[in-house]
């Protein structure tokens, strides 16, 4: 970002939904560091008060406990807002397979409420968390924004519907939107607990407890694991971009490299062994593949580089080192 864009952020009031979650709380901290006025909205469905501990007393931060399924809560949160970073949703493919109705209510109904509230509050730009799951059964690699397949889970459908609604709100109401298709984000504050925990925090905690992580499948599946600071940069690029051609588009949000689960567990063992050398001897176990999982995921990030000026600073390994250090220092 150039100095003009940073100055613009300083003068802006930004709403972050899902503010008590992993990505939302990191976005709030980054914006407050820059000097923005920030409003956070969350109902603590999967987020935690502890994620707000560094910012809850910041005079530039207002927290609203509310539910995006309730339009009044969305209207209240959007009052006087310049930019929306919409993160609130129920993540996880398995969760959506177990309970598609709730995932749809929150991820589609809640999303539509947020679009309506943003439109009515005349926000300048609505930036939202989309998902790499939208590539569905498309086998082509790397994934290019314009080339998607059929969704493999209810979660993927909800995230694709978000993109359709966002596109339509430009046509119907002239609301500017940008969708960020996140690829397996990881880093500080990602929740390691619960049935739907993401693989990196879950495995880190298991290694730290000297338990054997279980890989679903033979470990050959690969992902474009993306460190949180790259995702923060992408969101800031999306709200400050002065390129009008960049608006009303979706962008892969990734580093642009893929790592297999076998490689991931080796790296985790290597990095965690620096803190506890007993971890080097822990064996990984293998279980059945999960329904709805895509075998491989790798993003092309050319579109975001060209149109938004995105330039990710952390590759998977440097991000993983940071994440491991954070978990060791905060959750051991």
Active site (catalytic) residues:
155
Size of the residue set binding ligand NAD (CB under 6 A):
29
The residue behind tokens 């709403």 is 15
Q: Which of 43, 222, 235, 259 binds ligand NAD (CB under 6 A)?
A: 43
The residue behind tokens 């590759």 is 315
Q: Which of 32, 40, 55, 67 binds ligand NAD (CB under 6 A)?
A: 67
> How near is the Cβ of 177 to ligand NAD at its closest, in Å?
14
Q: Which of 88, 200, 284, 323 binds ligand NAD (CB under 6 A)?
A: 88
Q: Does 45 bind ligand NAD (CB under 6 A)?
A: yes
CA nearest neighbour of 204 among 91, 293, 324: 324
Give whichever of 116 and 279 is closer to ligand NAD, judged by the CB atom: 116
Q: CA 25, CA 196: separation in Å to the nearest integer?
A: 19
Q: Strand 222-223 to strand 259-260: parallel, antiparallel, or no bridges (unpaired)?
A: antiparallel
Q: Does 30 bind ligand NAD (CB under 6 A)?
A: no
> How near is the Cβ of 251 to ligand NAD at its closest, in Å?
13
Q: Which of 47, 154, 179, 187 binds ligand NAD (CB under 6 A)?
A: 47
Q: CA 120, CA 128: separation in Å to the nearest integer?
A: 17
> How near is the Cβ of 49 to ligand NAD at its closest, in Å?
10
Q: Does 9 bind ligand NAD (CB under 6 A)?
A: no
Measure CA of the first residue to CA of the last residue in the chain; give whole Å: 36
3-state helix, strand, coil in the chain (%, to 5): 45, 15, 40
> How near is the Cβ of 309 to ligand NAD at its closest, in Å?
22
210, exposed or middle or buried, with CB in 10 Å at 0-12, 13-18, 19+? exposed
Q: Does 23 bind ligand NAD (CB under 6 A)?
A: yes
List the structure tokens of 63.
């927290």
User: Which residues are near ligand NAD by CB under 6 A?
Assistant: 18, 20-24, 41-47, 67-69, 87-91, 106, 110, 129, 131, 182, 184-185, 191
């Amino acid at each position: 970002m150039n100095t003009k864009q940073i100055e613009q952020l300083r003068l802006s009031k930004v709403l972050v939904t899902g503010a008590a979650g992993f990505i939302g709380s990191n976005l709030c901290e980054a914006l407050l560091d820059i000097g923005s006025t920030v409003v956070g909205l969350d109902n603590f469905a999967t987020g935690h008060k502890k994620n707000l501990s560094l910012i809850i007393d910041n005079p530039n931060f207002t927290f609203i406990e509310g539910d995006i399924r309730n339009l009044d809560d969305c209207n209240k949160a959007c009052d006087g807002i310049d930019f929306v970073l919409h993160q609130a949703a129920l993540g996880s493919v398995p969760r959506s397979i177990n309970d598609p109705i709730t995932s749809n209510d929150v991820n589609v109904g809640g999303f539509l409420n947020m679009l309506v509230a943003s439109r009515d509050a005349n926000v300048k730009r609505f930036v939202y968390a989309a998902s790499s799951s939208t590539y569905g059964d498309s086998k082509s690699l790397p994934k290019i924004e314009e080339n998607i397949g059929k969704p493999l889970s209810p979660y993927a459908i909800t995230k694709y519907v978000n993109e359709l609604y966002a596109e339509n709100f430009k046509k119907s109401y002239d609301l500017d939107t940008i969708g960020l298709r996140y690829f397996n984000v990881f880093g500080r504050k990602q929740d390691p607990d619960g049935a739907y925990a993401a693989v990196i925090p879950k495995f880190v905690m298991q290694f730290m407890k000297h338990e054997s992580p279980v890989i679903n499948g033979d470990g050959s599946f690969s992902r474009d694991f993306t460190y949180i600071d790259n995702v923060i940069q992408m969101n800031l690029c999306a709200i400050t971009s002065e390129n009008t051609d960049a608006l009303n588009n979706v962008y892969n949000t990734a580093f642009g490299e893929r790592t297999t689960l076998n490689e991931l567990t080796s790296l985790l063992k290597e990095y965690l062994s620096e803190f506890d050398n007993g971890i080097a001897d822990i064996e990984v176990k293998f279980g059945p593949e999960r329904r709805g999982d895509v075998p491989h995921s790798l993003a092309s990030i050319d579109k975001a580089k060209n149109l938004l000026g995105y330039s990710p600073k952390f590759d998977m390994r440097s991000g993983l080192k940071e994440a491991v250090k954070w978990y060791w220092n905060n959750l051991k």
